Amino acid sequence: MWRSYGSGQEQVIKFEKGRIYTYIGEVVVSVNPYRQMEIYGKDTIDAYRGRELYENPPHLYAVSDAAYKAMKRRAKDTCIVISGESGAGKTEASKYIMQYIAAITNPSQRAEVESVKNVLLKSNCVLEAFGNAKTNRNDNSSRFGKYMDINFNFNGEPTGGHINNYLLEKSRVVQQQNGERNFHSFYQLLRGGSDEMLDSLHLQNDPAAFIYTKEGAATATSNKDRASHKAVMSALAVIGFSEEEINSVYQILACILLLGNLQFESDGESVHILDLEAVKHISGLTATEADSVCKSLLFRTVATGGGEVIEKGHTEQDTCFGRDAFAKALYERLFGWIVSRINNVIEVKNYDPVLHGKNTVIGVLDIYGFEIFDNNSFEQFCINYCNEKLQQLFIELILRQEQGEYEREGITWQHIDYFNNQIIVDLVEQPHKGIISILDEACLTVGKVTDTVCLESMDSKLAQHPHYTSRKLSPTDKSLDFKKHFRIRHYAGDVTYSVEGFLEKNKDLLFQDFKRLMYNSANPVLKEMWPDGQLSITEVTKRPLTAATLFKNSIVALVDKLGCKEPYYVRCIKPNEMKSPVLFDDARCQHQVAYLGLMENVMVRRAGFAYRQHYARVLQRYKMTCEYTWPNHLMDSDREAVEAIVTQHGFQDDVAYGLTKLFVRTPRSLFTLEQERAALIPILVLFLQKVWRGALARKKCRQMKAIYAIMGCYKRYKVKAHFWEVERRFANVRTTADYGKSVEWPTPPAALCQFHDNTVMLHRRWWARQIVKNIPPSDMLEVRAKVAALTALSGGREDWGVGRAWERDYLANVRDSPQTSSGFIRVSKELRNKDDHSQVLFSGFCRKVNRFNKSTDRGLLITDKCVYKLEPKKQYKVLKKLPLDALTGLSVTDGVDQMVALHTSSQDDVLLCLQRGALCPNQDRVGELVGTLVDHFTRIRRVQFPIKVCRSALQLHMRGKPKSVTVETKPGQTSADFKKSRQGFVLLVPGN
């Protein structure tokens, strides 16, 4: 590749100037600069946002944006595969990709989307702390594989995600090579934890004090453990870990460190723990019993064939093995729990494709690179197998598929040879013949099978394989040791593996006693990590899969997952072994270029085409750029229509026509089409909006017309239904006793409210007419007077005599005035003859206030012509006569008293209190007087006669002067009487 783009010296100059990215087609080649670069800020993000791949200089942001646009435009799942050897910068590249995707999404700053982005970004910090370590080749080497799916909604906003982790190098927990460190989390805790925190965990801030961290205690590293610890604590809180969960995480780390410091001694018969105080600390940190911890470390519970359970003591060697296995398993379970806890937070919740649209995915793969150490063990074997599978995927998608597509489509093509590493993949994973199958067979074999026996089995079965060798197969190769080493010729180079520990690590043996111990912990977090601890010792379970088989299955699933997505590649190059920002090892870089297949990639890309798509898809996307294809073409085929588009834009020489697809050689031609399309889209959108809005308006108009038609029909129906209901309820009211008074009226619709009120009034008047028809003519005068009184008083007086017969002329009534009635009858006849009145409206005794402001007993006679004041003691002598026309109104109180004020036009009102006769001592005669006068004035004289019901003082004028009359109850008062007061008068009425 380097020779293709210039001399090695030119590449050194590019490296020194910080131009660390190069394109091969859509593959980004990234060289680790080993220094901070000022090319990842907000301005750079804005420069690459929404741009095509070749508009700006090569950058990680460009391929990130291309993957995002492909996902959003075409609703296709995409993935970004980051590969390269250890120390080439894969982890940093994945962080910058995540940073870019987070920066360009959610412009509206929706809270729930921001929360998802924060968790996705913060998860990197946590997983680096617990999954990365310093190696001799890399200060921040990923000791696990990570594949993260980021889910997006139809708007292109992240809605969640999922993290898969692969093969954590747990052996690093208990042993590291010279110059390397344990996982970052241990050193961050010991150097960054507060004194209070370390005291509670029974730790000290010196990694050299613990066996498991002693090797890396003095190792120089660029990691700042104290600052990193604070960042991890903050990230855990942001992600959503509770305080109890965070405490549990660090309690497990402390427990692992204390386990590593446990020492054992044997007296020949049994093994003892030297430091029982440390055991108490471990039991406290794991919320278990100290005796149970000791028992799990020193003994193994075994079930015999007869179902009997016995305890078998460990040897000192077995005890150390069990302790280390327990420590490794604790860390592995902790790491797996952290990943699952993060997944619980970021998983897409309540997703419904019908409601939320298509859910698309961008996958980011950051997995360990190809490794060649001085001592390569089981972990390096698995890691390099993983890289072989990824290289195979790269070959499949980039090289073989592309050349195969040219042949299928009939494109003239000169075939380019490349190395297909399928033979190496088969060497490792082929059933019954591959190395993994041989390892599994050795693990399942009954009896004492050692690593050496397993190596001999591989030598015999793989002797003819061109990519496998050992000292037995190559006796002259002194770089290999007998019964210890075997070598695989990987695509990236030859790797010598030490078979020591292969079977033990493949079996991944952990005594069941430790699982039960953790499952019975009082700490719910620990209990959750060890669900398999609930199995009884006598319970027979299926033999678990080996570590190599589990890893192989997970990698096969990963490759299948990547294979169904549109891939984008970032190939990371390590410029030197010294981690120097200025040293560029040309020979080493060319070696990486060769084994990464980049040379073949360059040749394929140079001879091939940058873009290919089915004619229908090309036409669908770019038909608006040509007058002959918009909106629909009339040509015989889609291919002819695509040719018309290409011809109009003048890049016929830059394309090739396949059987089903168009092939575009350079991205710039495609970029030209995209630019023109982008310019036309707003115009088309406006046109479509106009048409659609018109269609919506017409539809709305039709709907409104239909609505009003339905409303009109419904209103008519409601009116008719109301009439029908009224007719049904009142059909037989003529024959009922109350003429329908008790019938409940139905609630009318709004349009008939006024009509309903009128109808109710008409019915009431008809009902009244029916009642009145049955009243004798002799009672009609009394009925009219009572109706007049009812109307005039308007409920102002509770008792106004409606329930009794109104006699009117009480002075002439023998029953009411037995002693004086005869004399009054004689005087009444004389007055009739004299004044020519035709009717006595009212007569009765009263207590009246005279012109001297004194109260006296008088007789009151009201005819249809005059009002007479009579003296009962002098044969009803007429003391005063007042024309009836002089009366202008009448005032009464709202009580039970019988006080009445007759108002006159001369403002010399008559104040009196009606007295009850012998007919009934408790009769109310005020209502009768009011009704009689009102009826006479309104019906006979055709004028209004005002009636005022006073709730407090009664107001009147006497000889032109205003007076106020109040009513008071006086105990011991025998009859009502007036008393002069400052404002006028007080009517004293008897108390109860």
Cβ neighbours, 10 Å, residue 632: 8
CB 154 within 8 A of CB 357: yes
Cis peptide before 567 (omega within 30 of 0): no
Q: How far is CA 787 from CA 95, 780, 793, 925, 928, in A?
A: 97, 10, 10, 15, 11
Token pair for 165: 């982790």
Buried b / exposed e along 840-850 (16+ C-beta atoms within 10 A): bbbbbbbbbbe
Token pair for 378: 């089981």
List the 145-152 sheet strands across, edge first: 21-24, 27-31, 566-573, 78-83, 360-366, 145-152, 158-166
Residue type, 657: Y
For the four alpha carbons of 306, 312, 315 and 319, in that order, the dihedral sign comes to: positive
| DSSP 8-state assignment for residue 497 | E
Tell me how far apart the alpha carbons of residues 90 and 980 are, in angstroms, rounded to a whole number. Answer: 114
CB 129 within 8 A of CB 232: yes
Cβ neighbours, 10 Å, residue 540: 7
Beta strands in 7-144 (DSSP E): 21-24, 27-31, 78-83, 132-133, 141-142
Tell me how far apart the alpha carbons of residues 73 and 653 are, in angstroms, rounded to a whole number. Answer: 28
Tell me how far apart the alpha carbons of residues 28 and 58 are, in angstroms, rounded to a whole number. Answer: 7
Token pair for 46: 């804005």
Tell me how far apart the alpha carbons of residues 541 and 303 are, in angstroms, rounded to a whole number. Answer: 13
Query: CA nearest 328: which of 514, 180, 499?
Result: 514
- In 3-state terms, what secondary structure has residue 792? helix
Beta strands in 702-836 (DSSP E): none
The residues that are catalytic are 86-87, 91, 138, 141-142, 369, 371
Query: CA nearest 609: which of 663, 646, 572, 652?
Result: 663
Buried b / exposed e along 877-887 (16+ C-beta atoms within 10 A): ebeeebebeeb
